[in-house]
Amino acid sequence: MSKVKAEYIWMDGHEPTQKLRSKTKVLSGPVESLEDLPLWGFDGSSTNQAEGNDSDCMLKPVYKVPDPIRGGDDLLVMCEVMNADGSVHSTNTRAHLRELDEQHKGQEAWFGIEQEYTLFEGRNPLGWPEGGYPAPQGPFYCGVGADEVFGRDIVEEHLELCLDAGLEVSGINAEVMPGQWEYQVGPLGPLDSADQMWLSRWLLYRISEDYGISATLHPKPVKGDWNGAGAHTNFSTKAMREEGGIKVIENACEKLSKNHDEHIAVYGAHNEERLTGLHETCSIKEFRYGVSDRGASIRIPMQTANEGYGYLEDRRPSANMDPYKVCAILLETTCS
Ligand code: ADP
Ligand code: MN
Ligand code: MN
Ligand code: MN
């Protein structure tokens, strides 16, 4: 029996934004289900998840996909972090979404997340002149040509890897700021969309390594007159997707308007640098929703308004948001 390499991936305790960590476990295989993947430990004192004198944390496999980089029977395994006694660790944000998912199953919630990110080569965004600036924004969004897009080789390879891993990526595009890109995951149920988002991020970081490039999810990677990076979260319930759903969507927007601050609190660190009211954003201090309005907090897509049912787009989450937290609070606010 050939060995199986399982890459155990988890979220650390880094503040204010949790980061991904991973290490490889070699198993005797075969691995057919999650139950075939053992619990594993790690040194939590090196990840801001424990004190040195009592440092063991536990990795509990919760989601697995084929490893598209190593190939064969190898796996990528998303894990929840548990305390040594098996209870939920304080940095485990998935556990709460797991409960809400169970509670609101009947709503059949779907999430489609647009992940924007920026490629950096050393201190500069990829394709930017050393120590200077490229031409002003305008031609880069969905652009083509060596003078307009930078990093397409990485982007294409990332897309291929995501699809090989079975992730539900629905598209990619070059963004407004040169060196900035987007991919979309979903629509999927709450846990699937959030797990897949974390795994797709891991693949992005991992494949960029091979090019000597680093991908960042900072919401405002370059200060000034340059677009920030968001993670627009498209959301619907079964009732929103059916005849007359627009009423349910408007009702959800009203609920969201009353919980703006609670949402902003979990929509990503440094988001105030991005949500300025400029660059296709609504100010972080305001809440507005509207049809086709890319300057609103929540946009109701034109097609949804025309058909009378569909979904809403929460434009507030920043690129570095934790999808476990964002999906959880959207369910909490709109479904209860
Ligand atoms: P934008 O025009 O904002 O750039 P995108 O095409 O990048 O839109 O992203 C739209 C996202 O909406 C995709 O991730 C897609 O999966 C998601 N989506 C489509 N329909 C639904 C739905 N009914 N519920 C939730 N998400 C949806
Ligand atoms: Mn988009
Ligand atoms: Mn975008
Ligand atoms: Mn969008």
Mutation to probe ligand 1, out of 234, 237, 248, 298 (largest number of atoms < 8 A from CB): 234
Mutation to probe ligand 1, out of 107, 113, 114, 302 (largest number of atoms < 8 A from CB): 114
Residue with tokens 């040169």: 178
The CA 232 to ligand 4 mean position distance, Å, reads: 5
> Of 42, 70, 92, which closes a domain?
92
Q: Verify that 83 and 112 share a domain, yes or no.
A: no
Type of residue found at 54: D
> Of 58, 92, 126, which closes a domain?
92
Mutation to probe ligand 1, out of 184, 292, 327 (largest number of atoms < 8 A from CB): 184
Q: Verify that 159 and 239 share a domain, yes or no.
A: yes
Q: Verify that 82 and 35 share a domain, yes or no.
A: yes
Q: Verify that 323 and 175 share a domain, yes or no.
A: yes
Residues 6+ apart with CB under 8 A from 132: none
Q: Is the CB of 183 under 6 A from ligand 1?
A: no
Q: Is the CB of 184 under 6 A from ligand 1?
A: yes
Type of residue found at 22: S
pLDDT tens readout for residues 15-56: 999 999 999 999 998 999 999 999 999 999 999 999 877 888
Q: Verify that 87 and 118 share a domain, yes or no.
A: no
Looking at residue 85, which CATH number applies to its domain?
3.10.20.70
In this structure, the residue with its CA closest to atom 7 of ligand 1 is: 114
Domain that holds residue 52: 3-92
Q: Verify that 197 and 285 share a domain, yes or no.
A: yes
Q: Verify that 19 and 129 share a domain, yes or no.
A: no
Establish whether the linkage from the previous residue to 38 is cis, with ω within 30° of 0: no
In this structure, the residue with its CA closest to atom 17 of ligand 1 is: 112
Q: How far is 99 from 132, CA to CA, in rounded Å? A: 49
Is residue 94 over pLDDT 90? Answer: yes
The CA 316 to ligand 1 mean position distance, Å, reads: 15
pLDDT tens readout for residues 145-163: 998 899 999 999 999 999 9
pLDDT tens readout for residues 291-326: 999 899 999 999 999 999 999 999 999 999 999 999
Q: Verify that 106 and 66 share a domain, yes or no.
A: no
Looking at residue 275, which CATH number applies to its domain?
3.30.590.10
pLDDT for the residue numbered 101: 97
> Of 92, 114, 146, which closes a domain?
92
pLDDT band for position 1 (cuts 50, 70, 90): low
**Helix residue spans in the chain (DSSP H):** 94-103, 152-164, 190-209, 238-241, 245-257, 260-265, 302-307, 323-335
